[in-house]
Amino acid sequence: MSEPGTSDLPPATGAWQAGDPAGRRQWVRFGRPLRLESGADLPDVEIAYETWGSLAADGSNAVLVEHALTGDSHAAGSAGPGHPSEGWWDGLIGPGRALDTDELFIVVTNVLGGCQGSTGPASVAADGAHWGSRFPRITIRDQVAAEVAVADALGIDRWAAVLGGSMGGMRALEWAVTEPDRVRSLMVLASPAASSADQIAWASPQIRAIVSDAGWHGGDYHALGPGEGPHRGLDVARRIAHVTYRSEPELTTRFGRAAQDGEDPAAGGRYAVESYLDHQADKLVRRFDAASYVLLTRSMNDHDVGRGRGGVGAALARVRARTIAVGVDSDRLYPPAQARELARGITGARYGEISSPYGHDSFLVETDQVAALVKELLS
């Protein structure tokens, strides 16, 4: 994996690879195949994870934090060898913070199918070749099944809390529905009970941009050199996604119709907002894998806690955890009505709202508001 700034050419994949610095990662390596929701068995599974704090003797202080689509296990700490980005929830995890590591044992996994240490398309299979196009389609339930095995390996019978936003919220909710006796409290931020047609529609051009890239090679590009692979498609996918992550008022206030410094849009230069998207896209192609992006986006499209359980209402009725369902008032991707639906459907749950101009990404940006909700959940 190329660290940002080491090459002008984007890598074929920004995935972490065996032999790269491990950083703070640890691994649970399964000694058996993982049975997927489809009925297929996935062999040679390993899940990367990071921890902060110490596990109590009775295991009662463990908290599982679930990352979003392009996140990973590095939720706290600085960037460095093995970690191309600083912790994505660094302001919430640490001594004296909302997720107080003097009292709690925080676990953050890299999701099954991800690209930062866990088994996914960029991983090398038993035959010595990258999984690539051979990697099976997986669901949010499959991702949670892998995390159940991690909890078992760590000796955690019950989580004091499971919390996450966006795709991480989908996994947090699935934990509480699938394993109701193993989740004491639950926080689902900016995430639905089931993905809507609108959300699937926004995902569709992102997937199409990647798989239509000439560098996709049917999903088998991971061994190619810098400048190869579907980095152009991933670039476009990130631009589409990032617009949905922020709000129109924020973009208008922050950029308006201003030109990028030193450039004239009338002469072929960029608007400032275009430069912003260029920056976001370039960062992602250097730290993420396009096949993981496609795989995980499809798993989000498939998300429906009511599938095979008699519908969403019946599924939510299984939740026994003390629950806060959190919406963001400016979220145009996962509107707050979906969080309200969760709060209505889960016995004893309450709805909480983050007020922010930053849209969907507010659960990552509004540290003080999220911290207050987390403290309430854990009180």
- Please give the full DSSP string across 69-86, using - where no structure is assigned: TT--S--SS--BTTBSS-
- State residue 5's pLDDT score: 44
- 106 membership: H or E segment, kind and range: strand 105-109
Residue 44 carries which side chain, given as an amino acid letter?
D
Mean pLDDT of 147-155: 98
Measured in degrees and rounded to the nearest 5, phi and psi for residue 334 equal -120, 80
Cβ neighbours of residue 376 under 8 Å, at least 6 residues apart?
A: 324, 352
**Prediction pTM value:** 0.96
Given a cut of 80, whether residue 337 has pLDDT beyond it is yes
141 pLDDT higher than 90: yes
pLDDT tens by residue, 188-209: 999 999 999 999 999 999 999 9
Q: Is the pLDDT of residue 6 over 60?
A: no
Written as six digits, the tokens of 274 are 């275009």
**Rounded mean pLDDT, 351-376:** 98
Candidates 241, 267, 117, 139; CA nearest to 194 is: 139
In the block, tokens 């996604």 appear at 241
**Which residues are designated catalytic?**
166, 331, 360
Report the percent of the chain where pLDDT is more than 90: 98
What's the pLDDT at 205? 98
- Is residue 35 within 8 A of residue 41, CB to CB? The reply is yes
237-246 residue pLDDT tens: 999 999 999 9
| Secondary structure class of 154 (helix, strand, coil) | helix
Helix (H) or strand (E) holding 52: strand 46-52
What pLDDT is attached to residue 7? 58
Spatial CB neighbours of 43, under 8 Å, sequence gap ≥ 6: 33, 126
Q: Is 215 helix (H, G, I), strand (E, B) or coil?
A: helix
Q: Is the pLDDT of residue 365 over 70?
A: yes
pLDDT in tens, 245-291: 999 999 999 999 999 999 999 999 999 999 999 999 999 999 999 99
How far, in Å, are 156, 255, 256, 274, 360 from residue 252 at the CA level? Answer: 46, 5, 4, 12, 16
Residues 103-132: pLDDT tens digits? Answer: 999 999 999 999 999 999 999 999 999 999
Average pLDDT over residues 31-39: 96
Give the number of other CB atoms < 10 A from CB of residue 124: 15
pLDDT higher than threshold 50 for residue 2: no
Of 4-18, 101-115, 130-144, the poorest mean pLDDT is in: 4-18
- Please, which pLDDT band fits residue 3 given cuts at 50, 70 and 90? very low
pLDDT at 313: 98
Provide the percentage of residues in the chain whose pLDDT is more than 70.
Answer: 98
- Residue 1 pLDDT more than 70? no
pLDDT at 14 exceeding the cut of 50: yes
Position 242 scores a pLDDT of: 98
